[in-house]
């Protein structure tokens, strides 16, 4: 297993269907009843939080109680806190590194990744699904990938302003710098190329025709969570979300031609996600 700690980082309701899509070929599936994904030699794991600097027993990722999580085994919330978002780069000799897992086949092109997400005790921050990512061999390798971000709020109603906690160091130092969402919860699609991010599209609390699920400790949808799905087919990227017993909603669709294939994964900063029922399949 490749593990590093410190060096070890169209809006609204367009369509409604059930997830996953019928007849799509399953590429990988995991209910996290075991930690096989973390032990797989092809899985890249990174993360360096403020808590990890003071406790060398903490590592970036765990499988606990049937979930993949970035939180410590005791269920505390010091896992994703103090990662790459909202950080002063002059504070540490080594900058914070976002929690992230990359896995799969670097030749995967037209695929979809989805997972059920809920949060442990965190109301602000970001959690994201990744497609077409370049492999990494060290944490400071410049990131290249497509990313679907879910950005959370501080209130159960979802109204409010996103803070700098939702913008990572790489986003903040891109040209032009990425600004926080005007209202949250929000869903964004980004492209990163050699560590520089570009915002490709956004839907948020104010613009969504269908309310975005509120999966945070204060949100009404945190238990039992919501399924988020990120699809890449050709040059089309789609962001979906689905509450249990409800139809899936395509919240966002954008086009981009640059990245052709790569690994899939999950990442987070200033957010304490629990992932379940991971599915990667051919894009319909």
Contact 262, 108 (CB under 8 A): yes
The percent of residues in the chain predicted with pLDDT above 70, rounded, is 79
Euclidean distance between CA atoms 239 and 150, whole angstroms? 10
pLDDT at 203 > cutoff 90: yes
Q: What are the beta bridge partners of residue 192?
A: 145, 197
Pair 221, 215: CB distance under 8 Å: yes
One-character DSSP codes across 78-94: -SSTTSSBS--TTS-SS
pTM: 0.86
CA distance 112 to 281: 5
Extents of the domains making up the chain: 2-282
The class of domain 2-282 in CATH terms is mainly beta
Higher pLDDT, 2 or 239: 239
The rounded mean pLDDT for the chain is 83
Residues in the chain: 284
pLDDT of 29 strictly over 90: yes
Q: Which residue in 45, 46, 269 sits closest to 168, CA to CA? A: 269
Q: How far apart are CA 236 and CA 231, in angstroms?
A: 8
* Rounded CA separation 119/127 (Å): 10
pLDDT in tens, 204-263: 999 999 999 999 888 889 888 999 999 999 999 999 999 999 999 999 999 999 999 999
- Count helices and strands (H / E) in the chain: 3, 17
């Amino acid at each position: 297993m490749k593990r590093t700690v410190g060096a070890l980082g169209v809006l609204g309701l367009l369509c409604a269907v059930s997830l996953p899509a019928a007849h799509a070929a399953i590429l990988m599936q995991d209910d996290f009843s075991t930690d096989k994904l973390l032990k797989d030699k092809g899985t890249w794991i990174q993360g360096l939080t403020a808590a990890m600097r003071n406790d060398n027993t903490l590592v970036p990722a765990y499988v606990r109680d049937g979930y993949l999580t970035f939180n410590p085994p005791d269920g505390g919330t010091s896992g994703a806190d103090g990662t790459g978002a909202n950080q002063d780069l002059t504070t540490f000799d080594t900058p914070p590194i976002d929690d992230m897992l990359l896995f799969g086949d670097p030749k995967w092109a037209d695929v979809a990744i989805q997972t059920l997400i809920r949060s442990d005790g965190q109301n602000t921050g970001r959690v994201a699904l990744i497609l077409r990512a370049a492999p990494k061999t060290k944490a400071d390798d410049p990131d290249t990938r497509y990313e679907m971000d879910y950005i959370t709020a501080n209130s159960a109603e979802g109204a409010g302003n996103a803070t700098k906690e939702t913008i990572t160091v790489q986003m903040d130092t891109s040209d032009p710098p990425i600004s926080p969402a005007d209202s949250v919860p929000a869903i964004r699609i980004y492209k990163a190329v050699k560590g520089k991010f570009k915002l490709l599209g956004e839907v948020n609390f104010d613009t969504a025709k269908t309310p975005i699920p509120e999966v945070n400790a204060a949100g009404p949808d945190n238990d039992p969570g919501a399924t988020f799905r990120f699809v890449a087919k050709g040059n089309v990227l789609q962001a979906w979300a689905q509450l249990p017993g409800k139809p899936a909603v395509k919240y966002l669709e954008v086009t981009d031609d640059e990245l052709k294939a790569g690994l899939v994964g999950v990442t987070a900063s200033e957010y304490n996600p629990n992932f379940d029922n991971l599915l990667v399949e051919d894009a319909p």
